[in-house]
Amino acid sequence: MGLFIVFIILLIIVLIIAASCVKIVPQAHEAVVESLGKYLTTWKVGVHFRRPFLDRIAKKINLKEQVVDFPPQPVITKDNVTMQIDTVVYFQITDSKLFTYGVENPIMAIENLTATTLRNIIGDLELDETLTSRETINTKMRASLDVATDPWGIKVNRVELKNIIPPAAIQDAMEKQMKAERERREAILRAEGEKKSTILVAEGKKESAILDAEAEKQAAILRAEAHKEATIREAEGQAEAILKIQQANADGLRFLKEADPNASVLQLKSLEAFAKAADGKATKIIIPSEIQGVAGLVKSIVEVGK
């Protein structure tokens, strides 16, 4: 009975040891395995077995892209302006063995390397260039860090300048400069607006004057044409009246000719014509001797009074 219990205990111990020797490496991970303190192999994704009491997992490696946000670092520009810049580094482990044995503390090493590289790059730039050249700084830092971290089994994918914090005095001066620039642009826009408004008003007056002149011209043309037509109608009326008078005279002569009047009637008509010529006005009329006998006039000159 006692031997059976011991056997059961030994069996349980063996099963526990065997179970502890079975290791599963999940997706996007690797495991660095040592044997008696020496690097043995790197386990990939899947199920693995280690030798009990000989092999051990020295380090579990995460192959996903990782992000490290470093605190602000003091840097000095080329024109001796001290500012604070904090960076964000995106990196990925490409070689688990190099990452495990390449450097003691990879994250701290990357932080220090980032600060040193940033100081070297900013030291060659002036303040204005630093504020406007983020993309250039990011590219230079990424290239430099990628080369430096390659022996550690690390690939730096991106480096971003998160914040650039200049001194308070510089910030105040920049704000004043920006305010002055905005006021200048506002004044320019206002002046351009007034200029365009003045031009539009002048063009409006010009077009109005042109339209007024054109209207006056058309009115004058219409008045001249109306006067011309009135003159033509008046002349035609006068010509028609003269024609009718001449026609009436001709008709009268034709009637007299057809009537064949004697000499006495003609003399009487002549006397009526002279009377009409006087028309009630003070005029002296000389009556021919041929009509004196017919009218019974004794005098050769008759005065016609008012």
Residue 256 has pLDDT above 70, yes or no: no
Let me know whether 18 and 87 are in one domain.
no
Quick one: pLDDT band at residue 216, thresholds 50, 70, 90? confident
Let me know whether 119 and 157 are in one domain.
yes
Q: What is the mean pLDDT of residues 282-289?
A: 53
Let me know whether 152 and 212 are in one domain.
no
CATH number at residue 146: 3.30.479.30
Let me know whether 273 and 298 are in one domain.
yes
Domain that residue 291 falls in? 262-306
Whole-number Å distance between alpha carbons of 157 and 128: 27
Let me know whether 91 and 129 are in one domain.
yes
Give per-residue pLDDT as tens, 149-192.
Answer: 999 999 999 999 888 888 777 777 777 777 788 888 888 988 88
Percentage of the chain lying above the pLDDT 70 cut: 81
Q: What is the mean pLDDT of residues 269-285?
A: 55
At residue 14, the 3 state secondary structure works out as: helix
Q: What is the mean pLDDT of residues 137-143?
A: 90
- At residue 41, what is the residue type? T
Quick one: pLDDT band at residue 302, thresholds 50, 70, 90? very low
What are residue 154's DSSP bridge partners?
93
Quick one: pLDDT band at residue 286, thresholds 50, 70, 90? low
Let me know whether 161 and 211 are in one domain.
no
Let me know whether 44 and 89 are in one domain.
no
pLDDT of residue 6: 76
Let me know whether 245 and 268 are in one domain.
no
Let me know whether 191 and 111 are in one domain.
no
Residues in the chain: 306
Supply the mean pLDDT for the chain: 80
Let me know whether 236 and 156 are in one domain.
no
How much is the pTM?
0.54
Element (H, E) at 128: helix 127-132
Q: What is the mean pLDDT of residues 96-115?
A: 89
Let me know whether 13 and 76 are in one domain.
no
Element (H, E) at 205: helix 168-259
Residue 248 has pLDDT above 80, yes or no: no
Q: What is the mean pLDDT of residues 228-240?
A: 83
Last residue of a domain, one of 62, 78, 96: 62
pLDDT of residue 301: 36
Percentage of the chain lying above the pLDDT 90 cut: 15
Whole-number Å distance between alpha carbons of 160 and 138: 6
What are residue 165's DSSP bridge partners?
84
Question: Domain total for the chain?
Answer: 4
Last residue of a domain, one of 126, 151, 166: 166
> Which has the minimum average pLDDT: 56-70, 102-116, 165-179?
165-179
Let me know whether 256 and 186 are in one domain.
yes
pLDDT of residue 93: 93
Last residue of a domain, one of 144, 166, 188: 166
